[in-house]
Amino acid sequence: MKVILAGYNIDTGLIKKLKRLSSNNVFTPETISAAYARISRSPRSVSTLRKEALKEVEKARLSNRRIIFEMSHHSIAEHAVFNFDIIGISRRAVEEVERFRLCSYTEKSQRYVTLEGDYVIPEEIKNSKFVDEYCTIISEQNNLYKILLEKLKSYRLKNQPGVSDPKILKNIENAAKEDARYILSLATQTQLGTTINARNLELMIRRFASHELDEIRKLGNHLYRQVKHIAPSIILFYRANDYDQRTYPELKEYCDKIKVLNDLNSEVRLEDYTRDGDDKILASLLFRVGRSSFEQCLTAVKKLSRKEKIELFKNACKYLELYDTLPREFEMVNYTFSAVVSGSCFAQLKRHRMMTLINQDYDPLLGITIPPSIKEIKMEEEFKKVIKKTEKLYKKIVKISPPAASYILTNAHRKRVLINLNLRELYHIVRLREDPTAQWDIQNIVHSMSEKAKKVTPLTTLLLCSKTEYPERYHELYKKYPKVTKVPLPG
């Protein structure tokens, strides 16, 4: 066996330095894509193919184009990876960026960073008669943010007099930021780091080219300009097209003719789920380790007593540690939930990439989420006053540009979502988001999802709980605590 490190992503600062020192001026990940694309048909070793591609970059580029265009072997573009710093975009725009699930993101947190009030004025509003009012309302929101932040901090300090431990003081400050930010608009600027392979990047650039928001089209343009000379042979289908531009607007026009009743219910609902889910997961476990058909496994599981089924589940999960994902067989059961979530909650929910998340636009008719702490400090009325002004302006902007109107809405505003996920991913989300360290809003939503899943699949959810609760839950089931592998800290 031979394993060779073929490449890795390094900082552009270093690449520039290397370029200065090198006679070769073409630094591109395309050669790796080209070499790997040739593996399937060439008897030569991968390393040789890589060396050849590196020697003849133009030939490698030609080969990539041919393979992608003529053979639709598009996956070769996944071998080229890029990192982008994206700075000064709105939270509204981040919602569009993070729709792409096969990429990696790390974003400035409104829970941990005090915001300085920077915001985006979208072109659609900049060129309208509402621009002054837009800036005034955002200043009011930002001023209230600062007031809420101070009041929440002093309120929490008053409830914990004499605290001097810097860690507790930091927690108090973070909790204040977490709730004060509900009044901040979706125009608030943020920054993120993202890692994307060329195939996803091409899709992102293409979708953005057709996007209804100017900010997103510009972002797509920036992304394309950064890579078009570095990887021209693998970013090919990047232009706006009818499919992306017209499908949803025309679908909306068509659907407007179909009568659908309005429903302002904001409860988390389990809309659909795999029937006999417990049995199907247990049967899949039998299937995985046996030689029988799935039908025979299911028949066998149905004959087991409840106690025997629990034993089977316990056998599958007995070595499960906190960082382990459940066995793949837990993907055989799906749940569809609907919910109404705040902007803040959505910001966190959308980060879970192993589920299907479909969202509607923000809708002020769905009401707002006001953090309980804001009621406790008796600032609810002030909060609502600013919301009222916000919504008044929203209604005006909607008339000239419906998509851009959402910029003025706040983290407290809500949208309706449809979530489809399997039990394996639900375990992961519950572990992270039902935990006391998670933010309260998403904690509540995920708690409801978890309770509903437990009702319809009571056996295979016996260990469905937050990471803090896990040792106790494991103990209840196995009468001993789970193994906890210690990770050695550096130094």
* Residue 428 lies near ligand FAD (rule: CB under 6 A): yes
CB nearer to ligand FAD: pick between 12 and 109: 109
Q: Give the span between the Cα atoms of 180 and 323, in whole angstroms.
A: 32
CB nearer to ligand FAD: pick between 26 and 354: 354
Contact (Cβ atoms closer than 8 angstroms) between residue 355 and residue 433? no
Q: Give the span between the Cα atoms of 294 and 298, in whole angstroms.
A: 6
Contact (Cβ atoms closer than 8 angstroms) between residue 80 and residue 235? no
Beta strands in 100-232 (DSSP E): 104-107, 189-197
CB nearer to ligand FAD: pick between 50 and 181: 181
Residue 145 zone, left/alpha/beta (φ > 0; ψ -120 to 50; rest): alpha
The residue length of the chain stands at 491
Q: Exactly one of 65, 75, 78, 109 binds ligand FAD (CB under 6 A); which one?
A: 109
Greatest CA separation found in the chain?
74
Q: Please report, to the nearest 10 degrees, the dihedral formed by the alpha carbons of residues 222, 225, 231, 237 taken in order.
A: 70
Subset of residues 110 to 149 that bind ligand FAD, contact rule: CB under 6 A: 112
What are all long-range contacts of 284-288, with beta carbons under 8 Å and residues at least 24 apart? 284/329, 284/332, 285/312, 285/316, 285/327, 285/329, 286/312, 287/329, 288/327, 288/329
CB nearer to ligand FAD: pick between 298 and 438: 438
Contact (Cβ atoms closer than 8 angstroms) between residue 7 and residue 29? yes
Using alpha carbons, list the distances in angstroms from residue 356 to 192, 266, 359, 417: 23, 19, 10, 10
The contact mask relative to ligand FAD for 185-214 (x = CB under 6 A, - = no) is: ------------------------------
Considering only the stretches 64-72, 233-241, 403-411, 430-438, report the one whose residues sit in contact with ligand FAD under the rule CB under 6 A.
Answer: 430-438
* Nearest distance from C-beta of residue 437 to ligand FAD, angstroms: 5
* Neighbouring C-alpha atoms within 13 Å toward the C-beta of 183: 31
Q: Which residue is nearest to ligand FAD (CB)?
A: 109
* Nearest distance from C-beta of residue 326 to ligand FAD, angstroms: 11
* Residue 432 lies near ligand FAD (rule: CB under 6 A): yes
* Residue 99 lies near ligand FAD (rule: CB under 6 A): no
* Residue 447 lies near ligand FAD (rule: CB under 6 A): no
Using alpha carbons, list the distances in angstroms from residue 482 to 112, 140, 311, 371, 473: 32, 51, 17, 36, 10
* Nearest distance from C-beta of residue 317 to ligand FAD, angstroms: 17
Q: Give the span between the Cα atoms of 16 and 333, in whole angstroms.
A: 49
* Nearest distance from C-beta of residue 113 to ligand FAD, angstroms: 8
* Residue 353 lies near ligand FAD (rule: CB under 6 A): yes
Q: Exactly one of 42, 45, 83, 106 binds ligand FAD (CB under 6 A); which one?
A: 106
Q: Exactly one of 283, 310, 317, 438 binds ligand FAD (CB under 6 A); which one?
A: 438
* Nearest distance from C-beta of residue 290 to ligand FAD, angstroms: 27
How many residues of this chain bind ligand FAD (CB under 6 A)? 15
* Nearest distance from C-beta of residue 264 to ligand FAD, angstroms: 29
Q: Exactly one of 288, 392, 437, 476 binds ligand FAD (CB under 6 A); which one?
A: 437
Q: What residues line the site for ligand FAD (CB under 6 A)? A: 104-107, 109, 112, 351-354, 428, 432-433, 437-438
